[in-house]
Chain A
Amino acid sequence: MNRYQTIIAGLCFILLLLTGCSTTQTSTDSKSNEDKKVTMIFSFKAANLDPHTGFIPIRAGLTETLLKLDQESNIEGWLAEKWHTDDNVNWEFTIRDDVHFQDGKKLDAKAVKDSLERSIEVNESLGSSLKIKSMKADGQNLSIQTTEPYPALPSELVNPYTSIVNIEAEKKAGKDAFRNNPIGTGPFKVKEFKPNQEVQVVKNKDYWAEEPKLDSAKIKFNEDANVRALALQSKEADVVYNLPSESLSAIGKDKELAIESVPGLRAHFILYNSQSPKVSDVKVREALDLLLDRKSIANDIMLGHGVPANGPFNSSLPFGIDDEVKEADIEKAKQLLTKAGYKENADGKMEKDGSPLTLEIITYKARPELPLIAQLLQSDASKAGVDIQIKTVENADTHLAENNDWDLATYSNNTSPRGDGSYFFNTAFTETGALNVGKINMPELNKVIDELNATSDLNERTALSKKAARMINKEVAHSYAVYPNIIVGMNKRILNWKPTAEEYYILTHTLDVK
């Protein structure tokens, strides 16, 4: 063996040595079948496990809220058995009598009160969401008085930020320790937490509903979609959220894996600037609405992982409307533009007073499908003689809020994060709403929103939400394009589990493995 062969052999030896140690590590990590365990990978990481500022504790089954959403996104009791109000100001919640925190302390109304107070103190925007004036605890009964009639309170108590934790445990352990190991009532408790990296949980044997099926679970965080997909394919992970569409066919071919594509609570849509002289004409907006090819967006851009939209909320939700999805119709769009005073010139462009209809659409890359929707609209609009220029910005919210010279924008919102439509109406359509960047002000709609805000009867709320959605559609305040699906890849060894639209309840006590 000469010198160079010795060097090469040496390098090979080092490589083998490194690979050797790692093999042992991986096999103990994922191949052991002694305990029932799963590994999940989420796309958003967590720097701590404070349930009042992050969603991971509820997703990891560590904490629970007073109320929750069922499979159909209806609100149901969770830690609260029942609730009642006569005037939408004074609320009575009956807390379950059979629940204990993970450290053994019994859950009562006083503990819930303390926890809610902490959540309002810790979370910047929770106070104005909950509108709580005062709370009184008596045994298992919690009385809440709101600052104004507030029928949306139950919906706001579904919010994971209102998770119930044992404040006494925080006092004992200290703030920082508690943020890494919150004591809740969920089916799992923290075993080890590595900030921004992973949380390992073990089952809470004394869980109030029933003993969890899994012994332990590991939730990792990785922001790179390709790495997540590869981890699922290598069986390093059992459940992976937000897969990149290019990996779907490869995953679909693997017999051990399945892809779940469930309708989410988000809507991608076109936002119109009410201050733009060109799109302030409802006829122009109607024309643009007809130029939006929703089917093509769902099939070609979302690759089938989305449903064409007919309003702000997914039709599968109780308060979603079941009107027909608008078909793209270039001829009809042209007729509408003619009614708005535009004429087709010699170049085939629609023009009014000698100037062609040229619009600017703002888009951003944070959601990769949005620029594609803008391109599709641009292409279809050109067939109707409308020239749309695309401008891509980095931060759409700020650009739209700080500039008045845009005409339309691609946008995306979680329109019903908590089983209720009022959140979206209040933030995207009222004058003071933070997401109302198009400065929409429809007096008739405002009245309906006010009425909705003051109504507690669920059926009436549903009817009002539908009424508001139809008014928005009639005035074409927004053009709803598609409801994107949540794409989750999972190993078929997972039993009794399906991803849900709200993405809150991921690690549950019923989740099992083969």
Chain B
Amino acid sequence: MFLIIRRRLIQLIFVLLVLSLFTFTLMKLAPGDPVLTILNADEMVVTEEDQAKLRNKLGFDQPLYVQYGKWMLNLVQLDLGKSYMNGKPVWDELMERLPITFELTMFAILIMGSLTIPLGILSARKVNRWPDQLSRILALIGASIPSFWLGLILIYVFAFKLQVLPSSGIGSYSQIILPAFTLGFTFAVVYARLLRAGLLQSMSEDYILAGRARGIKEWRLLWLHAFRAALLPVITVFGLSIGSFLGGAVVIEILFSWPGLGSLAVDAIFSRDYPIIQGYVLLTGVFVVIVNLFVDLSYFVIDPGIKRKEGTL
């Protein structure tokens, strides 16, 4: 297990290095700089001289490798720089928004779990009957519906028509339901199909048949034996799609006015606030690697029966 953790930590450094180089180059290649936005040229009398002065102050007149080198040097000292827009340290900005996104993601995962498990089990137990058909239709909807549209529909129904839930904002549990459901639903219905397939597969395994022959009750076989094995592919796919999950959160955060990391990133992109964009990308990279590490470690817990060579999965 420790070997896995060590390997993942080395992998993390490599991932972050590649990510930082990639995003830095892409950002600099993309048109636009934050100078006019910082100077608020649409409201203030700004001259070319003002722009040149600020460009010089921000170091934009230096070659790309110098800019990257300086940024890297600061990063090694754990300094992500300061936001161009408000001068706050990037780390503080990210840490301020992280719990907000974390809260949304946790609730979304909770909703996802509470939809995936019953729906997956139901459709596996009632193959080709109505629960299975329903889950198939939901999966089709979930896979094809854009999350912002689902969010708007939910706002229309619950905030506008029924007026039982607020349309946006954070602070109370009522405000988390719609965004978390929007985010969780699309993943839940797809994972439910995965769980169904996994359950059908494992319920036809020899050890289940043997168990059945020994008179072990069906629910016991399902929960204690088949379910664990069926959960593996779901968790693996979840680990792989954590990036999409965070990507989905960006849209949801904008729609529901949820001031988390996603909306911070979108604002930063629009205003070309490079330090924030870099910080966001690196943090997301760390997340993806860590979540995948947890996914790998969870295999030990979920299915300890699978024999592995030490340090591999």
CB within 8 Å of B: which residues of A? 4, 7, 11, 14, 18-19, 21-23, 25-26, 29, 45, 47-48, 53, 124-126, 128-129, 159, 194-198, 220-224, 226-227, 230-231, 233-236, 393-395, 397-399, 402, 413-414, 417, 422-423, 426-427, 432-435
Contacts and interface: CB of A to CB of B under 8 A. Distances in A.
Given A19-B165, A195-B259, 16 more contacts: A19-B164, A45-B257, A53-B86, A124-B54, A197-B257, A220-B168, A222-B257, A223-B263, A230-B155, A236-B163, A394-B32, A398-B31, A413-B42, A414-B42, A414-B43, A434-B51
Nearest to A230: B160
B255 A124 contact: no
Contacts of A159: 43-44
Interface string B141-181: 00000000000100110011001111111111111010000
B40 A125 contact: yes
Nearest to A25: B174
Interface string B36-58: 10111111111111110010000
B41 A435 contact: yes
Interface residues of B, number: 51
B185 interface: no
B256 interface: yes
Given A22-B166, A25-B172, A230-B156, A398 B50 contact: no
Most chain B CB within 10 A, of A124, A221, A435, is at: A124
B41 A434 contact: yes
Given A21-B174, A227-B255, A413-B42, A398 B33 contact: yes
Contact of B254 (A21, A224, A236, A414): A224
Nearest to A18: B177
A197 B104 CA distance: 15
B31 A399 contact: yes
B44 A125 contact: yes
A194 B100 CA distance: 12
B256 A227 contact: yes
B48 to A, nearest CB: 5
Given A399-B31, A435-B41, A236 B36 contact: no
A334 to B, nearest CB: 36
B86 A125 contact: no
23 contacts: A11-B118, A21-B173, A22-B177, A26-B163, A124-B54, A125-B44, A126-B44, A159-B43, A196-B259, A196-B263, A197-B257, A197-B259, A226-B152, A230-B155, A231-B167, A233-B160, A394-B32, A397-B36, A414-B43, A426-B45, A434-B36, A434-B50, A435-B41
A269 B38 CA distance: 24
Contact of B159 (A7, A124, A128, A236): A236
Contacts of B174: 18, 21-22, 25-26
A189 B157 CA distance: 35
B129 to A, nearest CB: 10
B4 interface: no
Nearest to B181: A18
Contacts of B44: 125-126, 129, 159, 423
Interface string B42-84: 1111111111001000000000000000000000000000000
Given A21-B174, A222-B168, A234-B160, A402 B31 contact: yes
B39 to A, nearest CB: 4
A221 B263 CA distance: 12
B15 to A, nearest CB: 28
A93 B32 CA distance: 41
Given A125-B39, A194-B170, A221-B257, A234 B163 contact: yes
